[in-house]
Amino acid sequence: MGNLKYFSLLMVAGMFAACSDNLENPGNENDGPKTGEGYVKVAINLPSVSSSRAFDENNNLDDGDKKEYAVKNGIIAFFEGVKTDGENAAKLVKAYYMGTLTGTPDNDKHVSSTVTVQTLDAPMLSDDKNQMYALVILNNGLNNSIVSVENDGKRLSFKSGDAPIILEAGTSTINDLYGKWSLNASDITSDANGFLMLNSPLYNGTKAQTLVPVTVSKTKDGAETANIYVERVVAKVDVSINPTSPGDYFTENNRSGLSVKKDGSIYTGDKVVFIDESADAPKLGWTLNVTNKNTKPLRNVSSIATWLGYGTIKSYFIGNTAVYEEGTEPNKISWKRIYWAIDNNYDATATDFNVYNETNKPEDKSWGAYSTSTIVPQYCLENTASAANVKDNNTTAVLIKATYWVDEIADSEDKSFFMIDDNAATVTKADFLEKVKNTLDPNGTASLTLGINEKADGGYYTGAEELKTLITGISGNTYDTALDELGTIRYYKDGGCYYYAVPIKHFNDITKPSGTIEDSNFLGAYGVVRNNWYQITINSVSGPGAPGVTDPGEGGVEDEEGYIKCSINILSWAKRTQGVEL
């Protein structure tokens, strides 16, 4: 993985409503600090992109959209503890609103060579042996709807349905911010309210640190500047179709897709339509499946020492280039980006995920457009798992809805087709009905007029009772045994099909080991981590997908080869690009 480079927070003059924009003394910057309070200087650096691997720093970079960098408001919270005990033992002292921020990057690439330093009120140390640490929360919601400061700064509340995460001064530590926080990705990616951002954890070769040590001064002039690096709480995904794909990209009659090209394949000549802008066309597109229902306010990297002991894959977990450095040689310390996390369902509790299946299909509005010259992303909460727990039903994936055109009937008005039991060949409606008739009446003595129920949905049909809801012209129980013998019928109504074979890879170059899957050889291969951008590119298609939205199941994500193949390149908002072949 590559290192994370940060761009500075672009703020207009007066973005912070003076240095003492806090709960007790808003706006009176010429007044001295309250009893027991002083000043700190902070330079808040917004997250930017990095290369996809620590040793591949010349990869394509992309900063994303301007709205992802906008800053509307913020909170700074201070924790104090004995220096030698580290950040985990430090307790909340006080939190302050930083004022209403209105900073939005004024250029497309958000590049700035300067850091705007702000002077803010802060609590003084209670003991010289202690260290004060700072936590920054940006875009905490309209009217502080996501995170709020209460009780004169002595309480910090992370809104979370009926069970908010509450930090109390004098008792709460950073560890309380690794709890389960239930919210929707849409709550913290608002165009109007900005993208929620909190401190980013960094590693210095010895330890990981999330809270930033700060020096509190009794005077403004004596305040020392502390650099605070933040990251977005969500991950980002977009999907595109490779226009130069060896799968033969085509555009015709307001439709775009890929032709099936595979030597010797029974599907050669077929086409898959991914985009259909013709009149009365079904809603096609892509959406995210198996997304997390909750996250942690701060990214948990507490096992970094363990991850760095994993032999051949340890280089994936830490960036190669320093985010920043402190001190001088020979005692210079380099702080680097960490590329993995432990989420709330690391042990894969299925009920913690939003899952689409046959009984819970995506609404039309859930199907997103494919990215072309304009990126059309979707956002989701962090979702990681230990290597042994990477399964289809707990790994965030891309679900694709398309229309499959069998070559034989591509020009016909009705593009419906079937697959019979475990036979992979496509069968036209006429041939399917003929097959059923011969099965029910092998001697040709019965008078059967069979058809397909126009109200039947595409999907899987197994057994006599289900097949009689699909096939018209069959009454009673006379043919139940023969219908049962047909096995499972896959009905692709109007050619509609779904591809669910794109679990999102995080460390793209980690491949499935031939032996036992363990953290030491497979950790991080799949998953989504906050502040990372995963770009999926569909490269080729080798056959039809499923006729319905099937349940992901409990199988391993690489147990079977699907009909879709992707390529992936992964950056830390960061763009991670994955290609697929269908």
Question: What string of H, E and C letters represents the secondary structure of 75-102?
Answer: EEEEEEEEHHHCHHHCEEEEEEEEEEEE
Residue 309 inside a domain? The answer is no
Residue 305 inside a domain? The answer is no
Please check whether residues 452 and 473 belong to one and the same domain.
yes
Domain end, chosen from 213, 232, 251, is at 232
Residue 517 inside a domain? The answer is yes
pLDDT averaged over the chain?
Answer: 85
Number of folded domains in the chain? 3
Closest CA to 549 of 416, 434, 397: 397
- Taking residues 486-491, report their average pLDDT: 97
Measured between alpha carbons, how far is 451 from 413 in angstroms, rounded to an integer?
17
Cα angle 357-354-524, degrees, rounded to a multiple of 5: 105
Cβ–Cβ under 8 Å, residues 399 and 368: no
Cβ–Cβ under 8 Å, residues 62 and 49: yes
Please check whether residues 487 and 500 belong to one and the same domain.
no
Please check whether residues 70 and 128 belong to one and the same domain.
yes
DSSP per-residue string spanning 135-193: EEEE---GGGSSEEEETTTTEEEE--TTS-EEEETTT-BGGGGGS-EE--GGGGEETTT
Please check whether residues 379 and 284 belong to one and the same domain.
yes
Question: How far is residue 295 from each of residues 181, 185, 235, 346, measured CA to CA in Å?
Answer: 5, 10, 11, 11
Measured between alpha carbons, how far is 73 from 129 in angstroms, rounded to an integer?
33
Domain end, chosen from 492, 522, 538, is at 492
Q: What is the pLDDT of residue 163?
A: 83
Percentage, residues of the chain above pLDDT 70: 84
Measured between alpha carbons, how far is 236 from 575 in angstroms, rounded to an integer?
8
Q: How confident is the model at residue 572 (pLDDT cuts 50, 70, 90)?
A: low
Cβ–Cβ under 8 Å, residues 309 and 416: no
Please check whether residues 483 and 501 belong to one and the same domain.
no
Segment holding 522, helix H or strand E: helix 519-522
Please check whether residues 428 and 533 belong to one and the same domain.
no
Please check whether residues 395 and 458 belong to one and the same domain.
no
Question: Which tens digits make up the pLDDT trace of 401-429?
Answer: 999 999 999 999 999 999 999 999 999 99
Closest CA to 272 of 574, 569, 19, 563: 563
Cβ–Cβ under 8 Å, residues 270 and 248: no
- Taking residues 363-378, report their average pLDDT: 93
Please check whether residues 390 and 368 belong to one and the same domain.
yes
The tokens 């999102």 sit on which residue? 504
Cα angle 478-444-487, degrees, rounded to a multiple of 5: 50
Please check whether residues 381 and 485 belong to one and the same domain.
no
Please check whether residues 189 and 262 belong to one and the same domain.
no
- The boundaries of the domain holding residue 53 are 6-232
Q: What is the pLDDT of residue 481?
A: 96
DSSP per-residue string spanning 418-464: EEETT--S-EEHHHHHHHHHHHH-TTS-S----EE-TTPPSEEEEHH
Instruction: Choose the weakest-confidence range: 54-58, 121-125, 437-441.
Output: 54-58
Residue 354, domain CATH: 2.60.40.3690
Please check whether residues 280 and 203 belong to one and the same domain.
no
Q: What is the pLDDT of residue 472?
A: 97
- Taking residues 554-572, report their average pLDDT: 65
- Taking residues 63-87, report their average pLDDT: 91
Domain end, chosen from 492, 516, 534, is at 492
- Taking residues 524-535, report their average pLDDT: 94
Question: Which tens digits make up the pLDDT trace of 317-365?
Answer: 998 888 888 888 888 999 999 999 999 999 878 789 999 998 999 999 9
Q: How confident is the model at residue 575 (pLDDT cuts 50, 70, 90)?
A: very low
Q: What is the pLDDT of residue 43?
A: 87
Please check whether residues 244 and 227 belong to one and the same domain.
no
